[in-house]
Amino acid sequence: MIKAIFFDIDGTLLSSTDGSFADSTRFALTKLQEKGIKIFIASGRHVCEIEEQPIRDIPFDGYACLNGQLIFNKDKEIIQSYPFNKKDTENTLKLFKQKEIPLVLVQDKELYINFVNEYVKHAQDAIATDLPPIKEYQGGNIYQVTAFSNEKESQLIMNRLNNCKLTRWNPYGVDIISNTGGKSIGIKDILSYYNIKQEETMAFGDGENDIDMLRFVQIGVAMQNAEDCVKEAADYITDTSKNDGIYKALKHFNIL
């Protein structure tokens, strides 16, 4: 019996084409909670960014944010966190600065970008979200770095960051976290917090950063707009969000 379902945001809960939130998805989330099934966010986004999204009024039961690096309960209180260590933070910032690559730095209560170029604009347009404020790093814990560059540039730098890993969510955007992190790590913390078993879980996703999550849960569902590598990791492929994909998959598995 499924007791917990985890949802990516961009391209999953929200349309990959225009960022819209389908009525069928809203209906499905409401019905899941009415049935006693807990619903969670598992996203590369920070919890503070959710306030800007069409899903902001949904009372999720918890949040595995920043690809599992910062975990919140339903009241948005931190229950677990996995920041970069000081050396990895310094190395990451130094290497990307040398290449003049823009970075979004994500801390526990804020996120900001060091500067903006065309790569940033292209990537942000794809997820229909506002740019974070421009600011330089002043110290403190960093949980995730988002870099904006082409694939070749990013990979050359990552080859020198042995304790980090990246997942690409856009041709020009990659999230960088500790190589011990991932959405599945955050999900484990949430399951422990709520005393839910791994075999009682389901997840929906569409990006590379969803692969470990889809493999970890009992039922992993990839959206139709997902990349091929994501579909290969899933147990089931559903329609796009805009075409009622989440609702259809929940009906397929007799969860609704």
At 108-133, the pLDDT tens digits run 888 999 998 888 887 777 666 678 89
**Domain shared by 170 and 92, yes or no:** yes
**Domain shared by 106 and 76, yes or no:** no
Q: Which of 148, 178, 208 is the last residue before a domain boundary?
A: 178
Q: Which of 144, 178, 212 is the last residue before a domain boundary?
A: 178
Mean pLDDT of 167-172: 79
Listed ranges 24-33, 145-154, 175-184; the one with the highest mean pLDDT: 24-33
Mean pLDDT of 30-53: 94
Give the separation between CA 28 and CA 115, rounded to whole angstroms. Answer: 39
Among 179-188, 196-205, 221-230, the range scoring the smallest mean pLDDT is 179-188
CATH number at residue 101: 3.30.1240.10
Give the separation between CA 56 and CA 74, rounded to whole angstroms. Answer: 13
pLDDT for 70: 94
Percent of the chain at pLDDT above 90? 64
CATH number at residue 32: 3.40.50.1000
Reported as a single tens digit per residue, the pLDDT across 42-56 is 999 999 888 889 999
Q: What are phi and psi of 74, to 5 degrees?
A: -65, -25
What residues contact residue 89 under an 8 Å CB cut-off, 6+ apart? 142
Reported as a single tens digit per residue, the pLDDT across 181-191 is 899 999 999 99
Number of domains in the chain: 2
Distances in Å between the Cα of 8 and the Cα atoms of 24, 122, 182 are 16, 21, 13
Q: Where does the pLDDT of residue 92 fall: very low under 50, low under 70, confident under 90, or very high at 90 and above? A: confident
Report the DSSP pairing between strands 4-7 and 38-42. parallel
Residue 236's domain spans which residues? 4-81+181-252
Mean pLDDT across the chain: 92
